[in-house]
Structure formats: structure tokens, C-alpha cells
Chain A
Amino acid sequence: MGAAIKVDNISKLYRLGMVGNRTIVEDINRLIARIRGKENPYLKVGETNQRNVKGNSDYVWALKDINFEVEQGQRFGIIGKNGAGKSTLLKILSRVAGPTTGSVKLKGRVASLLEVGTGFHPELTGRDNVFLNGAILGMTQEEIKGKFDSIVDFSGVERYVDTPVKRYSSGMYVRLAFAVAAHLEPEILIVDEVLAVGDAEFQKKCLGKMHDVSEKEGRTVLFVSHNLQAIRNLCQKTVILNNGELFANGNTEQVLREYNELSRDITIKADTEINNSINRRGKGRVRFTGINLTDEKGNRRYKFETGEKIRVSITFEIFKEIEGLTFIFAVLSGLSRECLTLFEYALSNKKMMPGQKGEAIIEIPHLKIKPGEYPLYFELTDLKYNSYAKDVIDDLTAPLEITEGKNKAYSDDNKPSGYFKMESNIIQNEIYDTNQLTKV
């Protein structure tokens, strides 16, 4: 098997700010440079794409000198933080946007699932939309006709096929759209964060389909996600993008380890990623000034063995008066990001004044949790959980890594990763013999 995709020195320059009067001046400068046979003057002033640092230039490299190859039939993951250049890369690969320099070579038909249901027209019936959407994705009329029945079957909306899709429930809409996309037969399938939408069942279906498509049919799958667990389950090879540059490239396990190193470098300060609405929310009344995971000796680390003692130490500062202070700390599921377990402590019930600082350490004597990787969630708020008082650090630090320790009680291999020690009592236990319908 040879390479199916070869990305050769791809770079992409973006201009920040508004298109306005200055743009036309720059256009003219560029034109003059070209007429005089010189290089585009704005290519030189590009800066690395660091979202949270104020730059000197209006031009940034969304991607800079990216090189990699993907082999035929491989499932290939692309990860990176927000703004690392993942989507830009996919846009170039799916020919939606062109690169500034460099080239990409592809073998076979490419279909991208950047968003399911692209081009659905609300006024048209389900049937018409299957044909329209199929055609947009590059299928011919004949192909769609041949697959129509199995598309409708897969979607499970047979009854509504002749109803305009604007009358569909959003679930039916997505199902039909995904069914069309799933029946495309491209040599290269590009998938961007479809898992962000849809319920757990749908996510599973997507992942399963992507696995099948590469395993059984030998197609190449390119998968972009924030969901490390999904990448780990699906992809054989992975690349990490960081600020538009290729940070690591190799086997998924190894690359994920490097990715965690990358997030470990973040030290939480009062102004860390303040503008990132997803990972850090809040109005700045109270701020974390430091977050550390340590062992009982006070050594900073993120890797623990099952059953080990874990300490969570935080420092904070008050910037505007609030009523009391609550600290919440949660361990999230690596796959679904739902909360597995939550710790909550009222740190103060008095009025807190600007300028006050504090420190708190919480100890978890033995976190009864399966080996795996768990994103962490930290929150400071007042006693009434008012949203204006919050400071939330959601999955911004390195995830907690639990490895198997001497205590094997929590590492039963048949169970997926997670937290399994909720209290319970058995209150009924009877076994019937169905042949005789009597109690045994």
C-alpha cells in the first residue's frame, strides 16, 4: 500500500481584522510588487498564530510548513487546541480553501464530512434532498438511484421521505444527512468533529462506520477531533498541530503522550486564556492564579497509580467583591466529557473583598477510578453559584492520567475507563426458571 495523501510544505497565511479601506491599499501594494516581479510583501510579515498573544502584524500563519503522509487505508487523526489550524488544514485538503504555499497530492476521490446535511434545502422533500445532497457530495444520479433504498433504510425515516425536510425533527434531519454521507464511497474520507453533535448512539454509529470504512473497504479516513479517547480508539497514526505548526507526528499513543506534555506546560494564571469562552469562562470577579496536582510530598505531577493519594492545590485572588467562595473540582469522562465525580467545598461564607488572596489544598485519599485519561474541571464561584461570580477552567490543564498500580481492584480489563464505585445495596435477588415458571 502506498501513500494516499502527501502534504508537502503547506502554509496558509491569514489576514486578521476587518476588510476595509486598508485592504485595498494592501491589494494595490501587492499588485505593484507583482508587476515589478517581486515577492508578495505580506508573506514576510506573517507571525505564528498564537491566539492569546498580541502580535505586531496583521498577518498570521494559520499553517506553517506542514509535512506528512497518510497511507492508503489508514485511519489518521489530527488533534490540536482551538485555533491550532486543524480546520484550515482540512479545508485545504477538501479543496474548499487553497494553500498560500506548498502542495498536497491526493490519490482517489475525496469526500469531506465537514458538516452533515450541507446543502439540504428545507423546502424540498427528503427524497429530493437525498439526490441533491448526494450530487453536492459528488455522486452521480445513477449512483444515488442505486443506493437510495439503503440510504433511506439506514436513516430510518422512510415514512417521511416525501415530506419537506423543514418538517423533520432535528434528529431525523441529521440521520438522513449522515445516511447520505455514509453511502458515499470516496477513497479518502475527511471527518471534522461530527462527534460534537448528536447523541451517544449517533457518535458510536459514526465511529463504527469510520472504522468499517477503513478496515473492510480499505479507504483512508482523516479524522479531526478534540476527543482524545475517540482518536485513541480509532486512529493508528496521529499528528498534533500547535499554533499552526506540526508539533508531533507518529503512532497515536506516542503522539497523545506528547500532546499531554503540551497542555502540561500551561500554568494557570489570572489571565491565562481569559478570552477563551469554551475553556475559561467568567467575568473576572475571582480568578484562579494557580492550579496544581501534586502527590502527598508536594511534587507536581499528573500521572498517578490507581488508589494513590492525589492533592489538588489552588491559589486564587478576588478582584471584585463577592458573597462567599465555593470551589468545585470535577473529573470528567475522556470520551463524553460528562462529569464522573465532583468535589465541592465552601472555602468561605463571608463577604470577600478585592485584593484578598487565598490558597486551598484538597486531598483525595484514594481516587477509585479505572486507569485512563480524565480531563479536569475547576470552578470558583460564590455561595449562590451566581454566573457573574464564576471562574471556570474547563479542560485547560493536562488531564489526569491514571495508570495501573499495585491495587488491582479498580483495573478490571473488561470495563471501560471511568468511575465505578457508586454506593449501592442489593435489595432483591431472585432467579426464576422460565421452563417451569416456579421459583428455584
Chain B
Amino acid sequence: MSKTSQDEWTLEIKPVSGWFHFHLKDVWRYRDLLMMFVRRDFVAVYKQTILGPFWFFLQPILTTITFTVVFGNIARISTDGIPPLLFYMSGIVSWGYFSDCLTRTSSTFITNANIFGKVYFPRLVSPLSNIISLLMKFGIQLFLFTCFLLYYWMNGSTNVHPNIYILLTPYLLILMAGLGLGFGIIVSSLTTKYRDFSFLVGFGVQLLMYATPVIYPLSALPEKYKWIVLANPMTAIIDTFRYAFLGAGTFNPGNLIYSSVFMIVTLSIGILMFNRVEKTFMDTV
């Protein structure tokens, strides 16, 4: 019995120690589970609703109309000469993906406490699956946005200039997903012990939206406050998105690089915290 040598063991369970134990290999091994979660999310969201996936369309359209009326017609905020409908929709669609990613992943530990408490699998699979399933929602909304865009373009709206920077969209998506995931898992790691942070997320995301050029163009901002908005890593992303599809605003590679670095740092911190919490959260959640 004692002949078994150390190296034959396939797994060793130890107390949490050190920060740098990534389970990325494990995550890869559980990729089937990742896909099952994505499928579950997608299939289950609109079950037993009559409109079904049509809600994916309805949400941004209704929000866009509201914004157009409130900010465009009543508050008369400039849209850089772009048809207000397109202007707001571009903002809503791209911001929506980021904020969904953040809010969904921020409650990872709490919503999954039941299942996490019973079976082991790399916990990172859960937030990752959220990011991916939200991607589908984004895809559908982007399609809707493109339809509107084409309509305006065909009808000779002179202010709309889609350009080659559209090819940057996948990169922008990665940035948004990374930022959303990064912030989300940082918050979810913190909420296991102190629930205070989950309250913060709710209105935090909303406040952050106003610090991002979603309902106003960067150009409409007084110089004095511009730095606040530019410090926000989401600014460059939304701005580039709008520039690519509508041709309005600016494209500033420097700002985009800033966002990328910000994303990498946030995500790394997030994964570090998440990995650490994943081992102990059952005792504190």
C-alpha cells in the first residue's frame, strides 16, 4: 500500500496558497460544459414567452425610441449631425453588451452557489459562458442596427458614412467582453463575503453609462470634463464603434490602446481574485 510513489497521484488538494494557480487547462478540458451552459442560457431565456427571441429586437428598439424622444427631442443633445435613431442605437447596442457582461458575471458566485456547492468544475466556466451567450444577443442586435443603417444609407442620408474601420468590430467586442468580464468577476469575488458590492453594480453601471459617450457625442462635451470621460476605458470603444459604422466622431488609436491595456490589467486582476475566491467562497457565500 505504501509503495505508491508520489508521482502516481493525479490530483492533490491543498489549502489556498499563493495567487498564481490558474486553471486554464481545466477550463479547456471542460469546454463541452461551456458550450452546454451557453446553449442552456440561450434556450432557456425566452422559454414560455410568446414573442420569444423577438425580445432581442424589441429591447433596443424601445430604448432607442425613448432616448430619441428624451435626449434628442426634449433635451436636444447634439448627435453630431447623425440621425438620432442611428446615433442612439449604435450607443445602446454596444454599451448594452458591455453592461450585460458586467452585471451578469458580477453575480456568478451568488446565482450559482447551489450548483457550485455540490460539484466541482472550473468556476471560470460560468462567467465565460455568460460572455459567450450574450454575444449572440449582441449579434442579433447588431444585425438589427445594420438594417436600420442600410435603410438610412439607401435613402441617401448624407451624414452616414460606414467605413473600413468596421473590420475593427471583433476587436472592440473582445475589449468589451474583457472589460465586462474583468470588472464582473472582480465584483463577484468581492460579493461572496460582502454583499455591498452587488448594490454598487446596479447603479454603478448606470452612472458609468453617463460617463461614456452613449447618449452624447464626445464633441458635445465641455473641455473641462473631457478628461473624466476619456479616462473611462469604454469611451474609446463606443466612439470607435460609432466612427466605424456611422462615420461620425473620432478615431483615436491612442485611446484605443489605452482601453486595451486597461482591459488586460482588469482581466488579469479579475482572474487572480476569482481563482483565489473560488476555493474558499463556499465557506463565506
Contact = CB atoms under 8 A, between A and B. Distances in A.
A135 B33 contact: yes
Contacts of B43: 123-124, 128
A96 B39 contact: no
B40 interface: yes
A14 interface: yes
Contacts of B9: 6, 105-107
A118 interface: yes
A139 B32 CA distance: 8
Interface string A169-201: 000000000000000000000000000000000
Contacts of B50: none
Interface stretch (A109-117, A212-220, A346-354): A109-117
A114 B1 CA distance: 28
A103 B16 contact: no
A133 to B, nearest CB: 9
A279 to B, nearest CB: 25
Interface in A15-43: 15, 19, 23-24, 27
Contacts of B284: 19
A115 B194 contact: no
Given A103-B13, A106-B10, A140-B32, A94 B44 contact: no
Most chain B CB atoms below 10 A, which of A14, A19, A103, A105: A105
Contacts, number: 119
Interface string A360-386: 000000000000000000000000000
Contacts of B1: 2-3, 69, 71
Contact of B118 (A24, A98, A104, A115): A115
B76 interface: no
Contact of B119 (A112, A124, A131, A141): A112
A2 B118 contact: no
A358 interface: no
Given A69-B1, A118-B118, A123-B47, A105 B12 contact: yes
Contacts of B116: 96
B115 A14 contact: no
Contact of A136 (B10, B14, B33, B280): B33
A144 B114 CA distance: 23
A210 to B, nearest CB: 18
Given A112-B118, A118-B118, A123-B47, A103 B40 contact: no
Nearest to B279: A98
Nearest to A131: B36
B32 A141 contact: yes
A97 interface: yes
A98 B13 contact: yes
A412 B115 CA distance: 47
Given A100-B15, A132-B40, A137 B10 contact: no
B44 to A, nearest CB: 4
A114 B119 CA distance: 8
Contacts of B30: 135, 138
Given A123-B48, A128-B39, A96 B32 contact: no
B121 interface: yes
B226 interface: no
Contacts of A99: 13-15
Contact of A121 (B14, B15, B40, B48): B40
A95 interface: yes
A134 to B, nearest CB: 8
B221 interface: no
A248 interface: no
B158 interface: no
Given A19-B193, A98-B280, A108 B10 contact: yes
Interface of A: 2-3, 6, 14-15, 19, 23-24, 27, 69, 71, 91-110, 112, 114-115, 118-119, 121, 123-124, 128, 131-132, 135-141, 164
